[in-house]
Structure 1
Amino acid sequence: MYYKNANEFTVTEPKIKASNRVIALDDNTIDFLKKWRERQLDVFLSKYVLSYNGLPTNKSATFHIIKQHSKLAKVHKIKTHALRHSHASLLISLGENVLVIRDRLGHEDIQTTLGTYGHLYPNMNREVANRLKNIINVQFTEIPNRKMISNQYIKRN
């Protein structure tokens, strides 16, 4: 959306095709959005989720909301776009597949996702090794009269 002011805004096509996407949300978020929609309809009709007067919410409104709530929560204030990065970082820390993260962020290719968030994967190699550790159960036994040749055991006479 191009937003100049409350009277001058237009919805534009996104820069890339991958920006138009469906994102799965958890049940709690869906319930919250339904309640918000009911509240909106009690006051005004709007096609915008982030609206409190029927018009799309401007950037400064979300900035002030984050500022107010970060102060209440006693956490560092971040910009609205940083919520996107926090979401991606959380998914990476939870071990989510990078293809899923790419799709949720609307990146056209995986290189964009890895180029932006690849530095958050340094311990993934160790985590993979730990997950593989107990997949194969190796049991050693004493087998007399066997001689190892290459990677095969043959029976001795």
Structure 2
Amino acid sequence: MESNSMETQQLHSSQKEAIKKITEFLGESNETDIDEWLVDLNNLFSIMKFKDETTILETMGKLTGSALRWYQENLRSFTNWNDAEKPLRDRFKEFTSDSQLMQEFFTFIKKKINRLHHFMKMLSGNIDKLDNSLLNNKLLQSYKLV
């Protein structure tokens, strides 16, 4: 019985150490991306086989600043981890995902370039489609003027 209690204490101590290694999330720009942070958190809590209630409370311990204030204000609405995780991600995604914003910007620019390229091809295709005889007539007219 005593060794079981000692093993439980060691396990609990190991869990505390592992949780300490997860960085605190402040919810500010230029910080760890919320998705990356939640993946680390979920992986750890999954290994530890935490129940939803424990996961919700342990997550609060890893939040600071505006992220902690927001979480505490919404804590009563979290009945399971999914109820907490999705709103947390949605709330702080816009502030921490510069890489996603850059990706969206490049996608937007790429679409604009593709449209411009398509327009230029269409325009040059229209020039190519001009009747050669029309071009020849224009050339002949210009020679006649000379």
**TM-score calculated relative to the size of structure 1:** 0.27
TM-score (norm 2): 0.29
Larger radius of gyration: 2
More helix by share: 2
Higher strand share: 1
